[in-house]
């Protein structure tokens, strides 16, 4: 099973590690285990569930048309070096490390 390491948002918190089923949506797998990520539409249109991929971007499914369009609209708010994905659309196929974006 792939693992997802969610980096802590503040020094007072700890990183959290989850085992997820391969080929499943990241948001759904984390929610199933009690971690509720920021979200809105859960369809890839609003961008509320944006995350940064710190490691393992190659272990996610390729973004579809809706996710790609949404990312192109929000990416200008972040450093061009950040790899941004939507947790409600990205399927996990291997180990990744993520950070939740605001």
Set out the domains of the chain in order of their start, with CATH numbers: 3-100 (3.10.20.30)
pLDDT at residue 102 in the model:
80
How many Å apart are CA 99 and CA 84, to the nearest integer? 10
pTM of the model: 0.94
Average pLDDT (1-15) is: 93
Average pLDDT (10-36) is: 96
In eight-state DSSP terms, residue 76 is G
Strands (E), the chain: 3-6, 16-19, 24-25, 50-55, 84-86, 91-92, 96-100
Residue 11 has pLDDT above 90, yes or no: no
In sequence order, which residues have a C-beta less than 8 Å from that of residue 37 and are 6 or more positions away? 27, 30, 31, 49, 51, 87, 100
pLDDT in tens, 37-91: 999 999 999 999 999 999 999 999 999 999 999 999 999 999 999 999 999 999 9
């Amino acid at each position: 099973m792939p693992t997802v390491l969610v980096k802590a948002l503040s020094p007072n918190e700890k990183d959290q590690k989850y085992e997820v089923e391969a080929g499943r949506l990241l948001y759904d797998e984390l929610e199933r285990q009690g971690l509720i990520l920021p979200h809105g539409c859960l369809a890839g249109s609003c961008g509320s569930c944006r995350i940064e991929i710190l490691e393992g971007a190659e272990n996610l499914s390729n973004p579809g048309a809706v996710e790609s369009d949404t990312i192109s609209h929000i990416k200008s708010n972040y450093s061009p070096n950040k790899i941004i994905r939507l947790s409600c659309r990205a399927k996990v196929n291997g180990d990744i490390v993520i950070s939740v974006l605001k």
